[in-house]
Amino acid sequence: MEMEQQEVRHRHRRSEPEPTAPDVALDQFSSVHEHLHERLCEELVSLEKRVSALRESPSLHSPTIISTYERMIRKKQDFMERWGMDTHCGCR
């Protein structure tokens, strides 16, 4: 009898819809905005250092890699501009 009740409860739990998270506009929170800006700045600095290093020690594939990194830098800067962030990060 107890096993049957557990099985019924278990089946009931599986049929319940999972709660969905409400839509949240993350850009309205300054802490999210600041964290994202900090993270993007770190990534931009890292990419720029990689580009500089590749330019100083060229190899067969350096131009392709540099082009890819520069495209990533532009995309991150474009994103930052759309969010109203300083694209220079104050750390270059």
Q: What's the pLDDT tens digit per position in 4-21?
A: 655 555 555 556 666 676
Q: Tell me if 48 sits within 8 A of 73, measured CB to CB.
A: yes
The pLDDT tens digits for 33-87 are 889 999 999 999 999 999 999 999 889 999 999 999 999 999 999 999 998 999 8
Structural domain spans, the chain:
32-84
- At position 7, the amino acid (one-letter code) is E
- In angstroms, how far is CA 40 from the centroid of its own chain? 8
Instruction: Please give the full DSSP string across the chain, using - where no structure is assigned.
Output: -HHHHHHHHHHHHHHSPPP-PPP--GGG-HHHHHHHHHHHHHHHHHHHHHHHHHHHS--TTHHHHHHHHHHHHHHHHHHHHHTT--TTTTT-
Residues in contact with 76: Cβ distance below 8 Å, sequence separation at least 6, in sequence order? 40, 43, 44, 47
Q: What is the pTM of this model?
A: 0.66
